[in-house]
Chains A and B, each alone.
Chain A
Amino acid sequence: MTSPNLNPCRGTQVRATAEAVARHSYGKLVAFLAARSGNLAAAEDALSEAFAAALRDWPENGCPANPEAWLLTVARRKLIDMARRHRHEAPAEDYELSAVELPDLPQDSDIPDRRLGLLFACAHPAIDAAIRAPLMLQAVLGLDAARIASAFLISPATMGQRLVRAKNKIRIAGIPFRIPERAEMPERLEAVLDAIYAAFAEGWLDAAGTDAGRRDLATEAIYLGSIVAELLPEEPEALGLLALMLHAEARRKARRGPEGEYIPLAAQDVSLWDAGLIARAETALRRAAAKNTLGRYQLEAAIQSAHVDRCRTGAPNWPALLDLYDALVAITGSPVAALNRALVLSEIDGPAIGLAALEELASDPRLNEYQPWWAARAELLARAGAWQQADHAYEIAYGMERDPSMRQYLERRRAALPRP
């Protein structure tokens, strides 16, 4: 029988403590448990059993002084149990390596942080690029497959299979939880940042914020981005990505009207922009700039920053934007960046010059069926007074768009054209 505990933690307190540890320590614990064996599935199972044990044990015996260490000890014991069970049962491939490579318990209460190594493993070149973001969300943040699946708009079963396959690949192929060396760092880091940005973009697409799973994904991606920026403080691009995501997130409330209608950047109410997030973004961007190494994410963040000038001066900093887009086009060769550059040009030199720049891009096959190119063309034609051509361009843009609020917006713009 258990003796009556004089200082039990109450149910809500236990849950709150467990949730806080889950939030802050999940990835750290998984990374530590799986670092030697590469067996993510076993580490995740053991850890989830440890969390279940905590919810049973803590209300009785009180919350431990070091919940992280408590969970690690229990999870490690679960791994040993699994290894024993598998000795008697059919030797399932899944736990085969966990049986021989258990992590040592750390000497003191500080658990070494191997999350960065785990992130680099998730975004390893030997892992299919499309599964990198889901894999990070699951392994580092503990999101379940169903939630990731709903954000990426595929069936939970398919997402589950792909995640299992990727984890098998890490374990069986022997992908190490390793921080790349100097020479390979830029390329490897880019893969990590691209995957995080892909997760953010999935959340960002749900601009209306009607789908909680997708909206939260943007927050989760920002959290991943801040982990990388914190663990690699000398990498300006990690800070650049963080700044970019924070700037974009700051405008979430302003991106849709009360009826969920699309509101373009230029028409957004700047008082709805989140000043706290903007301040965090600017801090990250300043720290990145101090490293004096330019990169794609820093440039994109700087572009967002130049739009924030509107809060102070009432207008975006167009000359700065033109310089930034010039640099972005030079670095990435992205037709989308070139399209945005043409729009900035039209703000400085008028719609005719902007249209000419757009025309130059028309030969790029990647823009052939790109709605924003037609929408931009329509906008500039309207500004130049070519109503009929603008009407035609709006029609094509409308035909290419799937998002209902965006379609509505294009329809409204088209209807607002003066009729001859």
Chain B
Amino acid sequence: MQYLLTLYSDEAGWNNMSPEQQKQGIAAYAAYGQALQQAGALVNSNRLRPGNTATTLRTNNGKVQVLDGPFIESKEQLAGYYLIEVPDLDAALSWAGKCPTVGHGIVEVRAIWPSGAPSQQKPAQEAVAAGR
């Protein structure tokens, strides 16, 4: 199964760190990504630019409205993600627990819809055969 680990953290915390601390932080994430890759669990991962550089779109009275700023104005902002492939939630939680973000922020774990949208489901006949 694929899981998306979304990382939320206080951006001010990062900015208040000394260059040496920031270097250590980057090294910790690099090591974590390497471990995921070596285990064959990593599908994709990225770090995001700060929340105050986000742009938000929504429809208001039938018109698309573009706004400066993130969807939710809160101390913790979406800071990055890891898309991983593991057998089950226990394995996903175990990886999430090793993510450096847990030490200073929040990690949310969610399963990805299998094989995309429901309309792309495998035909049951084939599926039944696969189950035998």
Interface residues of A (CB under 8 A from B): 80, 83-84, 86-87, 91, 93, 96-97, 99-104, 124-126, 172-176, 178
Q: Contacts A101-B131, A174-B111 given: A87-B124 contact, CB under 8 Å?
A: yes
A133 to chain B, nearest CB (A): 21
Which residue of chain A lies nearest to B130 when distances are taken between CB atoms in the complex? A100
| A84 CA / B90 CA spacing, docked (Å) | 31
* Residue B23, interface by CB 8 Å: no
| A101 CA / B121 CA spacing, docked (Å) | 13
| A106 CA / B130 CA spacing, docked (Å) | 16
* Residue B128, interface by CB 8 Å: yes
| A83 CA / B126 CA spacing, docked (Å) | 10
* Residue B89, interface by CB 8 Å: yes
Which residue of chain A lies nearest to B118 when distances are taken between CB atoms in the complex? A91
* Beta-carbon contact of B92 and A80 below 8 Å: no
| A166 CA / B41 CA spacing, docked (Å) | 27
* Beta-carbon contact of A104 and B132 below 8 Å: yes
| A103 CA / B130 CA spacing, docked (Å) | 11
Given contacts A103-B131, A174-B88, 4 further A-B contacts (CB under 8 A): A87-B125, A91-B119, A173-B111, A174-B1
Cβ 8 A contact of A93, one of B92, B118, B124, B127? B118
| A93 CA / B111 CA spacing, docked (Å) | 14
* Residue B103, interface by CB 8 Å: no
* Beta-carbon contact of B125 and A178 below 8 Å: no
Q: Contacts A91-B119, A101-B131 given: A175-B124 contact, CB under 8 Å?
A: no
* Beta-carbon contact of A176 and B131 below 8 Å: no
| A104 CA / B109 CA spacing, docked (Å) | 30
* Beta-carbon contact of B88 and A175 below 8 Å: yes
A residues within 8 A CB of B125? 84, 87
| A96 CA / B6 CA spacing, docked (Å) | 25
Which residue of chain A lies nearest to B131 when distances are taken between CB atoms in the complex? A102
Which residue of chain A lies nearest to B94 when distances are taken between CB atoms in the complex? A184
A residues within 8 A CB of B110? 173
B23 to chain A, nearest CB (A): 33
A residues within 8 A CB of B124? 83-84, 86-87, 99
A416 to chain B, nearest CB (A): 57
* Beta-carbon contact of A100 and B127 below 8 Å: yes
Interface centre among A99, A172, A174, A176 (most CB of B within 10 A): A174
Cβ 8 A contact of B122, one of A80, A100, A104? A100
Q: Contacts A126-B89, A174-B92, A178-B88 given: A96-B118 contact, CB under 8 Å?
A: yes
Which residue of chain B lies nearest to A124 when distances are taken between CB atoms in the complex? B89
* Beta-carbon contact of A178 and B90 below 8 Å: yes
A259 to chain B, nearest CB (A): 52
| A86 CA / B90 CA spacing, docked (Å) | 29
B residues within 8 A CB of A175? 88-90
B121 to chain A, nearest CB (A): 5
* Beta-carbon contact of B132 and A102 below 8 Å: yes
A98 to chain B, nearest CB (A): 9
| A86 CA / B118 CA spacing, docked (Å) | 11
| A266 CA / B114 CA spacing, docked (Å) | 60
* Beta-carbon contact of A102 and B92 below 8 Å: no
B residues within 8 A CB of A99? 121-122, 124, 127-128
The 9 closest A-B pairs by CB, nearest first: A102-B131, A87-B124, A176-B88, A83-B124, A100-B127, A174-B89, A91-B118, A99-B127, A174-B1
* Beta-carbon contact of A96 and B121 below 8 Å: yes
| A269 CA / B1 CA spacing, docked (Å) | 59
* Binary flags per residue of B80-106, CB closer than 8 Å to A gives 1, else 0: 000000011110110000000000000
* Residue B123, interface by CB 8 Å: yes
| A338 CA / B85 CA spacing, docked (Å) | 48
B residues within 8 A CB of A87? 121, 123-125
* Beta-carbon contact of A173 and B128 below 8 Å: no
* Beta-carbon contact of B118 and A172 below 8 Å: no
